[in-house]
Amino acid sequence: MKVITIDGPASSGKGTVARVIAERLGFHYLESGAIYRALGLWVHKNQVGDTPDVSRLLELIDSMRLEFRGGNVWLNSEDVTTLLREEFVGMLASKYSAIGEVRARLLQFQRDFAIAPGLVTDGRDMGSVVFPNADLKVFLTASAEKRAERRCKQLQQFDKSVTIGAILQDITVRDEQDSKRSVAPLSYDSSFRVLDNSELGVDETIDLILGWWSKLELDK
Ligand code: DC
């Protein structure tokens, strides 16, 4: 089974890049962040308070029916694709994903996406924990300022009142939470290829990664 993982901080562009690479290679695509976002939203919808205990969280995970169909995400029969992109949902995802038992409960669900002919997946720990033996592991990053700028442009299409200062603040908080947590923190080691795309466009980033992939395939 061929697996490419693309991990990186919030708004590094990993989702767009991973989706296009999956399309080009004819592989399946898994956005693991959507799973944690769906959990954040599900906890919120169930009104169990801001800090439910772990056993309640695990029950909520077990009652989640999550489906990825045609580029959309369905949570217990509701199309939540747009809702999942909300900032508050990202913050909740970051909070609950820091809990080891939550991550353990979601591990097999993620691994089951690795089916023929191959998988491209993005997240925080796809190369370090979920698919440590992936064929190609990329750590995609960019400066916090660049990432805030990109996210701001995206959000301003829908909401003109969004400010770059507020986004930069959110990104900084999430970077801190995601990389300092004790379980599966955002990190990489020498088995990853690190790509800082602060000065690169999406197409250049995609071409670089596809170039690495072709070379790996040729060298086999
Ligand atoms: O990639 P994203 O911004 O949609 O992810 C939302 C949150 O989910 C992120 O702040 C941390 C968490 N997450 C995680 O812990 N592990 C992953 N593999 C993907 C996301």
Q: Give mean pLDDT, residues 134-151.
A: 96
Evaluate: CB of 10 within 6 angstroms of ligand 1: yes
Task: Find the 189 Cα to ligand 1 centroid distance in Å.
Answer: 19
* pLDDT tens-digit map of 32-47: 999 999 999 999 999 9
| Residue 220 predicted with pLDDT over 90 | no
Query: Which residue's alpha carbon is at the smallest distance from atom 20 of ligand 1?
Result: 33
Evaluate: CB of 125 within 6 angstroms of ligand 1: yes
Query: Which residue's alpha carbon is at the smallest distance from atom 12 of ligand 1?
Result: 94
Q: What is the pLDDT of residue 155?
A: 84
Task: Find the 174 Cα to ligand 1 centroid distance in Å.
Answer: 9
72 Cβ contact list (under 8 Å, min separation 6): 79, 81
Q: Structural domains in the chain?
A: 3-198 (3.40.50.300)
Q: Give mean pLDDT, residues 80-85.
A: 95
| 170/167 Cα distance (integer angstroms) | 5
Q: Give mean pLDDT, residues 90-103.
A: 95
Ligand 1 atom nearest to 34, measured from its CA: 4
| Residue 87 predicted with pLDDT over 90 | no
Q: What is the pLDDT of residue 158?
A: 80
Evaluate: CB of 13 within 6 angstroms of ligand 1: no
Evaluate: CB of 7 within 6 angstroms of ligand 1: no
Cβ contact 194:141 at 8 Å? yes
pTM confidence score: 0.93
Query: Which residue's alpha carbon is at the smallest distance from atom 10 of ligand 1?
Result: 94
* pLDDT tens-digit map of 145-185: 999 999 999 888 888 898 999 999 999 999 999 999 999 89
What separation, in Å, do the N-terminal and C-terminal C-alpha atoms of the chain show? 14
Task: Find the 11 Cα to ligand 1 centroid distance in Å.
Answer: 11
Task: Find the 144 Cα to ligand 1 centroid distance in Å.
Answer: 16
* pLDDT tens-digit map of 101-122: 999 999 999 999 999 999 999 9
Say which residue, 20 or 52, is predicted with more confidence: 20
